[in-house]
């Protein structure tokens, strides 16, 4: 039986931190496919620029200043943690090898959590508000006839409910500087330890504590960059969604030039998605959708 010393615990922490880092680097997150990264420097970030797509006009007379609307769309950071308790007896009995995969999994969990947040938010888009006060996926987003957002709005849809049946698939334009989802990070993940021999928790519970924590959250950007559908994933329905997005307009009636680039599907839809996008030939002997979109089979939809 080994005598537990501070130097021994520090050596274990160094080793487990390497395992944690291994988990960070070997994970393969998918959130960057659909979300833009924003560094946060406060409790929350307010995205007042949402609702305004910059466009050019002919310069006749004085410049027309397009003031960015204040939509008060705010993303508030949340704090997340994961903690592992290591029994003192396991250190005394040199039974510490069992903890290496635990710390590696902790690192993986930290790296994958943005996927859970971003794709969870995408799944909740029919019941989660975006900058215009409507649900992100909705049938009546207001678009105004004047560039300053005045006049009687017309309703634009970026969602086909299909009567509430079917598994939702998502069509996204991720080619721009702004992506449909915002991933906001205030504090990056870090592994810390509570390992002093005279720590009160060691005295009362006979275990040392190791934990990772971070501050982050997600939110929506422009609804015009996304389309959700619960219709069957067929060539005709996919082309209809592409056409709808290509026709999206800004306030004032100017087309936005949205070009869908990404098809996000549930794992149950992967086979059909790959048939649509990757096969050389379809039932009509030529597949016009081949290579048209990138497919993401999201693990956390």
pLDDT tens profile 122-150: 999 999 999 999 999 999 999 999 877 78
* pTM to 2 decimal places: 0.87
Tokens matching residue 144: 């105004």
Higher pLDDT, 50 or 283: 50
By C-alpha distance, which of 175, 297, 157 is closest to 240?
Answer: 157
pLDDT of residue 131: 92
Mean local confidence (pLDDT), 155-181: 96
For Cα atoms 268, 271, 275, give the angle at the middle one, nearest 5 degrees: 145
Tokens matching residue 185: 């990070």
pLDDT of residue 6: 73
pLDDT of residue 61: 56
pLDDT of residue 218: 97
In the chain, where are the structural domains located? 30-79+113-188+217-297
pLDDT in tens, 91-115: 777 778 888 999 999 999 999 999 9
The answer on pLDDT for 68 being more than 60 is no
pLDDT of residue 65: 46
Q: What's the pLDDT band for 167 if we cut at 50, 70, 90?
A: very high
DSSP 8-state symbol, 176: S
The answer on pLDDT for 295 being more than 90 is yes
Mean local confidence (pLDDT), 183-208: 81
pLDDT cut 70: percent of the chain above it: 87
pLDDT of residue 69: 47
Mean local confidence (pLDDT), 168-193: 95
pLDDT of residue 261: 98
Mean local confidence (pLDDT), 285-289: 83
For Cα atoms 81, 84, 86, give the angle at the middle one, nearest 5 degrees: 160
The answer on pLDDT for 67 being more than 50 is no
Higher pLDDT, 5 or 188: 188
pLDDT of residue 197: 67
pLDDT of residue 70: 44
Mean local confidence (pLDDT), 172-188: 96
Dmax (CA) for the chain in angstroms is: 87
Mean pLDDT value across the chain: 88
By C-alpha distance, which of 44, 45, 46, 64 is closest to 54?
Answer: 64
pLDDT of residue 8: 78
The answer on pLDDT for 284 being more than 70 is no
pLDDT of residue 283: 63
The answer on pLDDT for 60 being more than 70 is no
Roughly how many angstroms between the first and final C-alpha of the chain, as a whole number? 48
The answer to whether 72 and 48 are in contact (CB under 8 A) is yes
């Amino acid at each position: 039986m080994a005598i537990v010393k501070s130097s021994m615990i520090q050596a274990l922490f160094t080793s487990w931190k390497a395992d944690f880092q291994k988990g960070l680097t070997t994970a393969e997150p998918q959130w960057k496919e659909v979300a833009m990264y924003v560094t946060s420097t406060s409790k929350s970030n307010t995205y007042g620029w949402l609702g305004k797509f910059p466009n050019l006009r002919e310069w006749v007379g004085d410049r027309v200043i397009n003031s960015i609307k204040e939509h008060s769309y705010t993303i508030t950071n949340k704090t997340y943690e994961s903690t592992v308790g290591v029994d003192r007896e396991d250190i005394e009995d040199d039974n510490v090898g069992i903890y290496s995969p635990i710390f590696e999994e902790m690192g993986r969990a930290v790296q994958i959590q943005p996927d859970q947040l971003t794709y969870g938010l995408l799944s909740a888009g029919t019941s989660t508000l975006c900058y215009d006060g409507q649900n992100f996926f909705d049938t009546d987003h207001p678009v105004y006839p004047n560039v300053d957002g005045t006049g009687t709005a017309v309703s634009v849809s970026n969602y086909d409910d299909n009567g509430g049946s079917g598994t939702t698939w998502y069509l996204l334009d991720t080619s721009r500087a702004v992506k449909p989802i915002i991933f906001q990070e205030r504090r990056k993940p870090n592994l810390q330890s509570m390992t002093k021999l005279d720590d009160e928790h060691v005295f009362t519970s006979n275990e040392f504590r190791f934990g990772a924590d971070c501050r982050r959250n997600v939110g929506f950007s422009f609804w015009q960059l996304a389309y959700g559908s619960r219709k069957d994933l067929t060539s005709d329905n996919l082309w209809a969604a592409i056409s709808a997005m290509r026709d999206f307009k800004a306030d004032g009636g100017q087309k936005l030039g949205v070009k869908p680039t990404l098809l996000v599907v549930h794992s149950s839809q992967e086979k059909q998605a790959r048939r649509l996008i990757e096969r050389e030939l379809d039932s009509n002997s030529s597949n016009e959708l081949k290579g048209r979109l990138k497919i993401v089979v999201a693990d956390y939809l």
